[in-house]
Amino acid sequence: MLPVTENAMLKFAANLSMMYTEHAFLDRYAAAAADGYAGVECMFPYEAPAAFVRERMDAAGVSQVLFNAPPGVASRGERGLAALPGRQDEFRAGIEQALSYATALACSQVHVMAGLAPEGAERAALLDCYRENLDWAARQARSAGVTVLIEPINTRDIPGYFLNRQDEAHQVVQAVNAPNLKVQMDLYHCQIVEGDVTAKLRQYLPTGRVGHVQIAGVPLRQEPDRGELDYGWIFSVLRELEYSGWIGCEYRPAAGTSAGLRWLAAARA
């Protein structure tokens, strides 16, 4: 399939951790490009050296627009360290690794995960740690030309995750007050936790605090044209609000990735 020119208003990035899983990770860059994606994102690119990832990215002619900082000890089910007191050294080492990859991949955004709230921990103490870590991370990232993103995640997919609501995320960003700290607004998570997605877009996009938007069908996290959210309507709202950032397609295809892209053709029409 020949690459398709992106709609002037909407730029879509394939999530290579969830999409194109019929291919080995490094082969997914070419697969996404073949379906017309100009940008890609992924969760964790660290299994391959950054130079190898960059080689595949350049060969495919796509941009890496986002990935996550290391989540902690993945084998223990950790989902980030930013809000966990006593883990600051590990957190900082992870940020340094992420910024090294961001530089190598010319990627201007890194998602920093908050983590799972420890049982019995006082939320105020976790919040203080979270803000301090994000302030430090944003200062490190600024010199690298990178924006740090934080994402509210629903507690059905990740029970116990520290950050769940859009208003909480925006309060944190305002409190830290770093120009390169923004919110990653995943509409799948937003719909599950609080709904009222159109009103949330109208409320938060004009603030300039949203750095990235992600989409998936609700409730099964499949293609955007499956489920209870009308993405045709949502895309019209994003155009109306003149959203110029990337839209990450962070969903699990119901069957083959390429076979499920009718929604993308409709969005670009």
Residues designated as active site: 151, 250
Spatial distance between the Cα atoms of 16 and 250, rounded to a whole number of angstroms: 8
CB atoms within 10 A of CB 131: 19
- What is the amino acid identity at position 257? T
Both structure tokens of 128:
């203080």
The angle subtended at Cα 216 by Cα 118 and Cα 201, nearest 5°, is 85
Both structure tokens of 69:
């900082």
Q: Which residues, other chains included, contact 36 with Cβ-Cβ below 8 Å and sequence gap of 6+?
A: 1, 2, 3, 4, 264
For 183-194, the three-class secondary structure string (H helix, E strand, C coil) is EEEEHHHHHHHC
SS3 call for 39: strand
